[in-house]
Amino acid sequence: MTAVELRRTDILHASAELFADKGVASTTVRQIAARVGVQSGALYHYFPSKSAIVREVVTTYLEQLKARYDEAAPRELDPRARLRAIVEVSLRTAEESPHATVVYQNELPNLRDDPDYRDAKKLADEAQQIWLETINDGKRTGVFREDVPTKVFHRFIRDAVWLSIKWRHPEDAYTTEDLTRDCLTIFLDGFAT
Amino acid sequence: MTAVELRRTDILHASAELFADKGVASTTVRQIAARVGVQSGALYHYFPSKSAIVREVVTTYLEQLKARYDEAAPRELDPRARLRAIVEVSLRTAEESPHATVVYQNELPNLRDDPDYRDAKKLADEAQQIWLETINDGKRTGVFREDVPTKVFHRFIRDAVWLSIKWRHPEDAYTTEDLTRDCLTIFLDGFAT
DNA sequence: GTCTATAGCCCGATAGAC
DNA sequence: GTCTATCGGGCTATAGAC
């Protein structure tokens, strides 16, 4: 990695942390520069604009997520195992990249129609497609119930998984493995006795 | 209602809509004024600051929500019926006040330590307490499983309910009643066959 | 009670020295 | 490649006329 690439990575990490904590709109390029330890003008040698930083944070994150889904949750798996793999990969990715995860969850929905984020939107759609495909395959093979719309179940479990980043603290005794297990328990078998 | 009160209400409604669409930080007082049909300076005859508008949007909303919980979900109800009532009231409130709901979900988490929002935070805590109490009562009486932490189940169902405001459109054939039913089905009985 | 005008500040981004 | 300095503009909030 060249010195330039290292600095770019520094900027992306500092930005992701600030964006996650206070939102993109409330984060200034001066704050990013201060976190990295340079003056704000220096950032513009690495990125053409603040918006380009946001875009790269989200796009890099989604590329990694999509690659992990493809590897860990191939279509050959039966729907239950595939759903488990998707949940595991998602929670592991959220644990590993908590800031980018928050930025993706908080900001991408509001940026859908901005052409600058077309790549990110495309990747997010592909990732979502893997969830939907899994749920529909499970309905077709009879392991999932057909009386609840795919879209509805998807939103429920998807939000449970991704928003755990906002309430679960990594130092908790309650681990990612615990969360994965409880998530699959609730969503597949229910909370009633 | 006096003319002043009517104007205040206009401002609160216009603000809630803008805050929900673009976030509080990205909404300007000029945009609020334009939506109401006055100049920005005129807003300051009704509210001392932009932040006071945000505070009143959220606090008024939460007071209404809390009152509805108290009325529709008294502790005398058995836990299953009480959970159903909470979900029903929440979804009905979200449908009726979609903008304030989004503001509450999106912005309050980031404002927790701001002393300006102490009242809102207190109301939100009281509302949350009703969910937790219901879940714990259900565990004690044996209708809910005890191997999933209360906090975890609460976050799952709470997020499913509140975030539906971001994906369900009121004009959908899929109604609030459908959503209430499917939410209780999934979270109590599970998605597996 | 609403207007016009603007103070005072902070923003993203740029220019040019080193 | 990073600095200092600053431009042009948008922001919240205020002042004072009507």
Residues of A in contact with B153 (CB under 8 A): 186, 191
Q: Measured in whole angstroms, how far is the alpha carbon of residue B166 from the centre of its chain? A: 12
Average pLDDT value over all residues in chain A = 97
- Give domain limits for chain A: 1-47, 51-189
Compute CA distances B168 → B120, B171, B175, whole Å.
26, 9, 9
Residue of B nearest to A140 (CA): B193
Q: Measured in whole angstroms, how far is the alpha carbon of residue B4 from the centre of its chain? A: 26
pLDDT, one tens digit per residue, over B133-146 is 999 999 999 999 99
Residues 6 or more apart whose Cβ sits within 8 Å of residue B25: A23, A25, A26
> Chain A contact for B81, CB < 8 A?
no
pLDDT, one tens digit per residue, over B11-70 is 999 999 999 999 999 999 999 999 999 999 999 999 999 999 999 999 999 999 999 999
Instruction: Look at residue A1 in the predicted model and tell me its pLDDT.
Output: 85
Instruction: Look at residue B112 in the predicted model and tell me its pLDDT.
Output: 78
Q: First vs last Cα of chain A: how many Å apart?
A: 55
| B32-64 exposure pattern, b = at least 16 Cβ within 10 A, e = fewer | bbebbebeeeebeebbeebeebbbbbbbbbbee
Closest CA to A83 of A162, A9, A138: A138
Superfamily for domain range A51-189: Tetracycline Repressor, domain 2 (1.10.357.10)
pLDDT, one tens digit per residue, over A125-158 is 999 999 999 999 999 999 999 999 999 999 999 9
Class of domain B54-189 (CATH, top level): mainly alpha
Instruction: Look at residue B36 in the predicted model and tell me its pLDDT.
Output: 98
CA dihedral B116, B119, B121, B123 (to 10 degrees): -160
**Strand D close to B48 by CB, under 7 A:** yes
> Chain B contact for A15, CB < 8 A?
no
CA dist B80 and B137 (Å) reads 10
Checking if the pLDDT of B114 tops 90, the result is no
Instruction: Judge contact between B100 and B16, C-beta under 8 A.
Output: yes
Q: Does domain A1-47 have CATH number 1.10.10.60?
A: yes
The residue type of A92 is R
CA dist B116 and A9 (Å) reads 37
Instruction: Look at residue A192 in the predicted model and tell me its pLDDT.
Output: 97
Instruction: Look at residue B66 in the predicted model and tell me its pLDDT.
Output: 98
List A residues 90-119 in contact with B (Cβ-Cβ < 8 A): 106, 109-110
| DSSP at A185 | I
Which bin fits B44, alpha (ψ -120 to 50), beta or left (φ > 0)? alpha
CA dist A84 and A140 (Å) reads 18
Structure tokens that stand for A112 in this block: 């859908």
pLDDT, one tens digit per residue, over B73-103 is 999 999 999 999 999 999 999 999 999 999 9
Question: Which residues 40-99 in chain A have a CB closer than 7 A to strand D?
Answer: 40-42, 45-46
User: Are A193 and B143 in contact (CB < 8 Å)?
Assistant: yes
Question: Which residues 26-45 in chain B have a CB closer than 7 A to strand D?
Answer: 27-31, 40-41, 44
> Chain A contact for B162, CB < 8 A?
no
User: Are B190 and A189 in contact (CB < 8 Å)?
Assistant: yes
- Walk along chain A (193 residues) and give the pLDDT tens digit of each residue: 899 999 999 999 999 999 999 999 999 999 999 999 999 999 999 999 999 999 999 999 999 999 999 999 999 999 999 999 999 999 999 999 999 999 999 999 988 788 889 999 999 999 999 999 999 999 999 999 999 999 999 999 999 999 999 999 999 999 999 999 999 999 999 999 9
